[in-house]
Copies of this chain bind each other. A is one copy, B any other.
Amino acid sequence: MNKWYEKTGEQGDVIVSTRIRLARNLMNDPFPCKLQKDGMLKVDKAVKDAVIHGNSAISNQFEYIDMGALSQTEAVSLVERHLVSPEFVSEREGRGLLLMNDESVSIMINEEDHLRIQVMQQGMALEEAYRMADRLDTLLDERLKFAFDDRLGYLTQCPTNLGTGMRASLMLHLPALQDSGAMDRIAGNLSKLGLTIRGIYGEGTQPKGALYQLSNQVTLGLSEEAAISNLRDIALQLVSQERAARESISRHLETQDAIGRSLGILLNARLLNNDEFMKLISNVRLGISMGIIDNISYDQISALMIEAQPATLMKNVGKTMTPPERDKRRAELVKERLS
């Protein structure tokens, strides 16, 4: 079965993927930070049973993963595949993960909240992703009884999630805006509009791979639909700005040169560290959108960006590797996937 990131999405030249995340808590249990081991296991079992043994249409599409039983490599690979948060794997005892076959849906159990329901899709797919998350939410609410206050909405451990408990995010590829030095100004403007933008791989103004996560900040006093609509409108403005910036640099021979060289190095290197890989693959992605590279697809890039991350690389080879061994394997993988 293809993974969700192996399909091409809308506005794929700039919008890599969409993520909807709902924070939910059980009505009758303390927040995870207040739970001892047995309390965590009780919540874990309740959520797991509700999904796996729920006898619903989706039950057999989910796999349960006991986080405490995972190796460090397997756990970090989940982070690299954007299925769980880094915090979730830092302390794994008593935590569980429910994962849909195609990895488009994951439910973290006992992260900051009892449940973090996450739905991911390629490209711009806020409505579809939200519909899926909402369906799951409804299904689980029937069985688990979520903590909900008529005035405040869904109750969460951190007040920043209170209300809808929803964080909608878009992963954006913004190489041209990044190169133009516009990201600081853009980030400042977005925060005034109730949105945040931050680097996915590395903070600051030059995140690796020019990949950014744009998310809604406000969860209180705003419906899910309104938050999503706001995010989409602003994202489409960013898409326009990025496209205009690309249009302007695409005529420069220096741009075409950098893109050509990046592909040439990716196809011919024998050693590739992750930083260099991210820089080069970002250039190749840009080259596809400019029509300079025409035999590689966005979904190949998305899949490779995940497969080439250190822990996922080791997980797929089935052994731990030193950094130089990984650099060698990464170069081999890139050649296999892009040739």
Contact = CB atoms under 8 A, between A and B. Distances in A.
A264 interface: yes
A266 B268 CA distance: 11
22 contacts: A253-B270, A253-B271, A253-B324, A253-B328, A254-B271, A257-B269, A257-B271, A257-B331, A260-B268, A260-B269, A260-B270, A261-B264, A261-B265, A261-B268, A261-B269, A264-B264, A264-B265, A264-B266, A264-B267, A264-B268, A264-B269, A265-B265
Interface in A247-274: 253-254, 256-257, 260-261, 263-271
Interface residues of A, number: 18
Contacts of A260: 268-270
Contacts of A263: 264, 268
A324 B268 CA distance: 26
A124 B271 CA distance: 36
Nearest to A262: B268
A270 B254 CA distance: 8
A264 B271 CA distance: 13
Contacts of A266: 264
Given A254-B271, A260-B270, 5 more contacts: A257-B270, A257-B271, A263-B268, A264-B264, A264-B269
A205 B198 CA distance: 47
A326 B265 CA distance: 23
Nearest to A254: B271
Interface string A177-196: 00000000000000000000
Interface string A222-264: 0000000000000000000000000000000110110011011
